[in-house]
Amino acid sequence: MAMVCLSDFEAYAKKYLPKIAWDYFAAGADDCTTRDENILAYKRIRFRPQMLRDVSVVDIRTKILGSEISFPVGIAPTGFHQLAWPDGEKSTARAARAMNTCYIASTYSTCTLEEISAAAPGGLRWFQLYIHRNRAASQQLVQRAEALGFQGLVLTTDVPYTGKRRDDVRNGFRLPPHMKVKNLEQAFEVCKMSPLDPSVTWNDIYWLRSLTRLPIIIKGILTREDAELAVRHGVQGIIVSNHGGRQLDEGPATIDALVEVVEAVRGRVEVYVDGGIRKGSDVLKALALGAKCVFIGRPALWGLAYKGEEGLQDVLRILQDEFRLSMALAGCASVSEIGQHLVQFSKL
């Protein structure tokens, strides 16, 4: 089967993954309105391409927090990669390093931070943190990540409680016995009483800053008000995210929320976006609306399900090629030339 676009990988993963694993990765909250809207919202944005520009050489490199990446697509934090491929997050880390981009490793990895780090030494990696009721465990994770050379700390803010994902409830989802949430104490099991701390507030940003010298990126921001609070609390980056539509259903699509957040921060911190990116042209739209970089979640898992590290590289390579082509066709020879003049919202 020729793998030409990301939907080919999606079809493969749906066909060959065990149903319980596919349902877990695909799940959105409640009616899945927000999950689906993340994709549909990109289709309402139209290009305003610029003609007769010299695009004989197209430079797609960019920098995030000072680190150069080969193109503005990174890998978002998602849990339980061993459900997709036996080597799990080790394969993810190797693919990201091979493609010279950023991988955000999840607290809920099925490989340890040490295993992820050893699998791809020298790769650009950030660590995604959930603050747990056991603050000592969270503190230890942050300090382990920094000691291992992770270069950013991504605090997820939109999970005081886990959203209701109906298929997971129907399936009684839990990890198979041979898989563990490796970064947390052995006794930890998903689907028992949530270890997440629902009392976390903005003041906990100061607590995190007292633990680490790593830049703090805050994930889950969807409004102007929260973007302004994030800047006020000294974060270095914001990921506009609705958790792939897995938390509060019927919130905004992330590409729609991006505009509001970018306007609010006025260039004071870098802004990224995840959710709904399925084509290189989606990446171009996100950058035109002010994102510095996008992060992909489910498509990375589809790539792993196809051929592990090699499959994920294929996914990233397709996005890279599509992004380069979209830039050229829109009249941009470098990422710095991408701006809001390139897009308009469809009146349909």
Tally Cβ neighbours within 10 Å of residue 263: 11
Mean pLDDT of 234-255: 98
Give DSSP secondary structure letters for 30-99: TT-HHHHHHHHHHHTEEE----S---SS-B--EEETTEEESSSEEE---S-GGGT-TTTHHHHHHHHHHT
Binding-site entries for FMN: 77-79, 106, 128, 130, 156, 219, 241, 274-278, 297-298
- pLDDT reported for residue 346: 78
Over range 154-174, report the average pLDDT.
97
User: Residue ranges of the domains in the chain?
Assistant: 6-47+56-338
At 165 the pLDDT is: 98
- Which residues fall in the annotated binding site for glyoxylate? 24, 165, 243, 246
Superfamily of domain 6-47+56-338: Aldolase class I (3.20.20.70)
User: Does residue 232 register a pLDDT over 80?
Assistant: yes
Tokens, residue 91: 């394969």
Residue 129 is classified by DSSP as: E
- For residue 196, what is the DSSP state? B
Sign of torsion over alpha carbons 187, 28, 88, 179: positive
> Model-level pTM?
0.97
Query: Tokens at residue 50, please?
Result: 């610029």
pLDDT of residue 109: 97
What is the mean predicted confidence (pLDDT) over 266-292? 98
SS3 212: coil
pLDDT tier, 347 (very low <50, low <70, confident <90, very high otherwise): low
Residues designated as active site = 243
Answer whether residue 187 shows pLDDT above 80.
no
Q: How many residues belong to the chain?
A: 348
Nearest to 323 by CA among 37, 69, 2: 69
Cα 290 to the center of its chain, rounded Å: 17
Mean pLDDT of 255-261: 98
Q: Say how far apart CA 242 and CA 314 lie, in whole Å.
A: 26
In single-letter form, the type of residue at position 25 comes to: F
pLDDT single digits (tens) 306-339: 999 999 999 999 999 999 999 999 999 999 999 9
Residues of the binding site: 24, 77-79, 106, 128, 130, 156, 165, 219, 241, 243, 246, 274-278, 297-298
Task: Give the CA angle between residues 163, 164, 168 to the nearest 5°.
Answer: 115
Helix (H, G, I), strand (E, B) or coil at 20: helix
The mean pLDDT of the chain is 96
Rounded mean pLDDT of 190-210? 86
Please state the rounded mean pLDDT for residues 137-148.
Answer: 97
Tell me which residue of 265, 241, 236 sits closest to 255, measured CA to CA.
Answer: 241
Torsion angles phi and psi, residue 42, rounded to 5:
-65, -30
H-helix or E-strand spanning residue 317: helix 298-330
Relative to beta strand 343-345, strand 293-296 is unpaired
Residue from 91, 93, 89, 97 nearest 70 by CA: 97
Q: What is the pLDDT of residue 185?
A: 60
pLDDT for residue 188 is more than 60:
no
In the chain, pLDDT over 70 holds for what percent of residues? 97
Geometric angle at alpha carbon 337, from 333 and 341, rounded to 5°:
125
